Structure 1
Amino acid sequence: MPTVVIAGAGLVGALNACFFAQKGWNVVVYEFRRDIRTMKHVQGRSINLALSNRGKAALEAVGLKEYIVQQGVPMYARLVHNKDGKTFSRQPYGKPGEHIVSINRRHLNEVMITQAEKSPNVKFFFEHKVKSVDYEKKQLVVQCTSQPSRIPTFGNKASQPEEHPEIHVEADLILACDGAYSAVRRSLMTIPRFDFVQEYIEHGYVELNILAKNNEFAFEENVFHLWPRGHLTLIALANRDKTFTVTIFAPYAEFEKHMSNTEDVFAFFQENFPDAFELLGREHIADTFSRVKPQPLVSVKCSPHSFFGNLVLMGDAAHAMVPFYGQGMNCGFEDCLVLSETLEEFGDDIETAIKAYSDRRVPDAHSINDLAMYNYEELKDLVNRNSYKLRKMFDTFMNNLLPNTWYPLYSMVTFTRIPYHEVVERRQRQDEIVSKMLKTTSTLALIGAAIGVYMQRGRIGL
């Protein structure tokens, strides 16, 4: 059987291990961290994940969908909180019953690692850092990072531990799933005609928690809570343990100006999110902002995604995106599914399959990156505008009238597997139709007004 080597045991790396274990391939996974199943705290981004149809389809292909969905909390709508802290509006995500699922990142990752390890042909090597790719030999360069004890024996000084030697790993297929700051992608930067764009947005984020109240959810659980405030926003997603993960997104300048000390951050939350402030509590807010600095948000685009006939960039290594469409994980999971489908299509001809995969996936990755940027404007501001609400109502009406032709943008992204680049193309066509309808309506209104003036010309002295 062929051998696949995977860089990274995060969400995309672990799911890929499940896919190739199912195919019967020999699977080797190298992960820089210790096994997260043995760790009390896991460093890194922990913004709750919103599982939608693309991610569900990938999990279903490896037999994990039902279990994972049961571990999450369904969300059927956005609940938009107004600044008064008392009133709100509800915006359903789609048709009745359509929903996304709030999932805990760590638990999902642990489940997929455990699932993959059930296969005897899968091996995980934790505390192994992927350093680069050897172009000429088409090998992955890896180094073990576990160190011997630094504790000195009696009468001896502690010695400096020696570094482990680098390992050059051969494989029929190498999958770089090592995240937004991918070492594999970085080592490819000198390759001619490899396009790469990295952008940090001006906003950062800080994560907080709302605890259970009398062992129940502190407020409604089956919605995506949203506090849009123009240039910043607060969100809250429910967890199975009755808590909420709360995240504030704001420009770094806003954090520095209004959240740099305890009294300022209290005043800021009381003014902008009074209902959330009460639920979070003074002590928790003060403790969080004294310990945690705002974390950055990066967007990465690159092309191609395949190299040397045996290497593929996947997940955040290929298309890190800001989290505002909830598609980072879903897109990464769909990567795994599309690669598996493409290999089957080409009879496991690896070189041909990964070239086809890259050609197909790059336009989709770029499209969802752009949509994620757009959706932040929606979440922090547009949801409160009448023009947005009217368009949403119009799209819902048209979808009911033409269910197989007219899809709202959010529904195409979230509740279908229409390729992302096709989603953008369809939306552009819909926008053109709406624009023509508005022009026609305006023209008819002007003609009607002119006729009315003409009919009444005598009465009004014309």
Structure 2
Amino acid sequence: MAAGASSTPATGAPAKKVLVVGAGPVGALVGLYFSYDGWDVEIYERRGDLRDAAERAAGIGKSINLALSERGITGLRNIGDGGALLDKVLEQTIPMPARMIHSGKVGEEGDAQPYDGVFGRYIRSADRAELSCQMLDALDERENVKLCFGERLVRMKLDTEDGPEAIFIKKGSGEEHKVKADLIVGADGAFSTVRYQMQRYVKQYYEQTYIPTLWCEFTIPPTASGDFAIPPNYLHIWPKQTYMFIAIPSMDKSFTCTLFMPELMFATLTTPSDVITFFRENFADVVELLGEESLVEQYFMNQHLPLVSIRTTPYHYKDRCVIVGDSAHAMVPFYGQGMNAGFESVRILHEHLAANPGDIRAALQQYSEFRVRDAWAIVELAMQNYDEMRSGVTKRGYRLRKWVQESLMRWAPWLGVETLYSMVSFGNGRYSEVLRKAKMQGIVEERVMIGIVAWVVGLLGWRVGVARAAVTGAKTFWRTLRW
């Protein structure tokens, strides 16, 4: 152990040491869980400290706003601090009980679509940079935590006799140094160096998928009077079938906005005139909110970035190394589950470690086997939800299906029917079970629809041939509405 290492109060033995690579929200949560479990924690981050004004101004925390939902909240609730951090985090979030669907026409009001029309549950908008700072502050309060910024991981040695070690290069000086630990946890994002290094030791399946869509970030500022420019308690969507614009409220009364669009369409907008014309034709009300000058400036100043999904297995190597969050299961942002799934993975890893005291190898093995099915499921669901956001929300069939499901939730709860969105965002059930249940309840819903059609046919006294055609038509129609 490193000099000055703490000891476990119950036994007086030296505490185990965990090395966490990545100090984003997921890496910070890893550090907090291990800290409250009595481990010595060292967290290494290649970027600077986000709490530093200069680093923040450089844009190192720039990202799509986060949607905090039940899985992420549960992860924060179970750290071991009595909910203190969770309370602070929730104070800096904005409830969003509904989507607001916009046509893009100036002066036309949006159409509010509640996420949960039965129980009124909601997701929360959270600023990624602010959340990261809150979590880093919580880590700083822990005596057994050491934070190291400007440290880039370059190599790992996982089979050394006295435990795994990682080699870092210090930003600026270029100094190379070695860090030893009992366990290395990779929380360093979709392009994880920990995962890459771990692949030298384990036969790991790895799948990386890009979709032909890029994203560009915009900001709608507060009004001159300091108010929100549009209603704040909504995730605003301008769906256009093959592309969309979204806006999520921030605590400073601005909106963080994102244009998701096929790469080929981005390639056609090469001049200020092109951009203004495109937005005038599709998002005229957004032009009024941003102004043409700001619109053009942000379009060309901000990067047009790709979206990647990653599926891999296993997530660990022996008792030496494990990956969590985007390092293990990066996903496109359309279900708002990236951070939530990452927080859930940290909680589940902690539960397996607690269930196997003194046997890290068994804990990591069980965690990896348990989690991979669920991680792959949410990666798939996130991809599917892009179709719903950019297209499905505008269709009557989508609304009919949601109305039927919520009616069954309200009036026939014994059937156990739930909307897919509520199962994903407002519960903690396994993602793989959510997929299974969604398929099963699709069968129930189809039978309900057929029963209604059969009852109408019987009431009207239609002939057998007409009745069969009506029932067949009902089956076909309902199947087209499935997620």
Which position in structure 1 is the counterpart of 2:463?
450
| Contact 1:142/1:166 (8 A) holds in 2 | yes
Q: Call closer, same or farther: CA 1:173–1:402 in 2, change over 3 Å.
A: farther
Letter matched to residue 449 of structure 1? W
CA distances 1:28-76 after superposition (whole Å, capped 9, x unpaired):
1111011111123333651000000011111122331111111011101
Shift of residue 441 of structure 1?
4.7
Q: Report the Cα distance in structure 1 between the residues aligned to 2:169 and 2:407, rounded to whole angstroms.
A: 58
2:93 corresponds to which of 72, 87, 93: 72
Shift of residue 139 of structure 1?
2.1
Whether 2:128 is the aligned partner of 1:118: answer no
Whether 2:386 is the aligned partner of 1:376: answer yes
> Within 5 A, what are the aligned runs for 1:346-385?
346-385=356-395
- Aligned length, in residue pairs: 438
| Contact 1:302/1:318 (8 A) holds in 2 | yes
| Contact 1:128/1:142 (8 A) holds in 2 | no
Q: Report the Cα distance in structure 2 between the residues aligned to 1:452 and 1:337, rounded to whole angstroms.
A: 57
CA distances 1:226-268 after superposition (whole Å, capped 9, x unpaired):
10000001100111111111111000111111x2211111111
Q: Call closer, same or farther: CA 1:451–1:335 in 2, change over 3 Å.
A: closer
Whether 2:154 is the aligned partner of 1:131: answer yes
Which position in structure 1 is the counterpart of 2:239?
228
| Contact 2:99/2:235 (8 A) holds in 1 | yes
Whether 2:176 is the aligned partner of 1:180: answer no
1:59 corresponds to which of 58, 64, 76: 76
Which position in structure 2 is the counterpart of 1:424?
435
Shift of residue 452 of structure 1?
10
1:293 corresponds to which of 293, 297, 303: 303
Which position in structure 2 is the counterpart of 1:157?
none
Shift of residue 196 of structure 1?
0.6
Matched position secondary structure for 2:252: coil
Q: Report the Cα distance in structure 1 between the residues aligned to 2:109 and 2:252, rounded to whole angstroms.
A: 26
Shift of residue 275 of structure 1?
1.2
Q: Call closer, same or farther: CA 1:440–1:108 in 2, change over 3 Å.
A: same
| Contact 2:240/2:390 (8 A) holds in 1 | yes
Which position in structure 2 is the counterpart of 1:248?
259
TM-score (norm: length of structure 1): 0.91
Which position in structure 1 is the counterpart of 2:4?
none
2:221 corresponds to which of 211, 216, 219: 211
Shift of residue 453 of structure 1?
8.4
Q: Report the Cα distance in structure 1 between the residues aligned to 2:327 and 2:410, rounded to whole angstroms.
A: 39
Which position in structure 1 is the counterpart of 2:112?
90
Whether 2:271 is the aligned partner of 1:261: answer yes
Q: Report the Cα distance in structure 2 between the residues aligned to 1:146 and 1:451, rounded to whole angstroms.
A: 78
Q: Which runs of 5+ in 1 are unaligned?
A: 149-162, 455-462
Which position in structure 2 is the counterpart of 1:3?
17
Percent of residue pairs identical: 36
Which position in structure 2 is the counterpart of 1:306?
316
Which position in structure 1 is the counterpart of 2:33?
19
Whether 2:343 is the aligned partner of 1:343: answer no
| Contact 1:130/1:140 (8 A) holds in 2 | no
Q: Which moved more, 1:398-407 or 1:337-346?
A: 398-407
**What RMSD in Å do the two structures reach over aligned CA positions?**
1.9
Shift of residue 191 of structure 1?
4.7
Q: Call closer, same or farther: CA 1:324–1:17 in 2, change over 3 Å.
A: same
Shift of residue 353 of structure 1?
1.1
Shift of residue 354 of structure 1?
1.2
Which position in structure 2 is the counterpart of 1:143?
168
CA distances 1:309-352 after superposition (whole Å, capped 9, x unpaired):
22111000000000000000000011111111221122252111
1:435 corresponds to which of 437, 446, 454: 446
| Contact 1:212/1:243 (8 A) holds in 2 | yes
Letter matched to residue 378 of structure 2? I
Q: Report the Cα distance in structure 1 between the residues aligned to 2:150 and 2:112, rounded to whole angstroms.
A: 46
| Contact 1:365/1:420 (8 A) holds in 2 | yes
Matched position secondary structure for 1:357: helix
Letter matched to residue 406 of structure 1? V
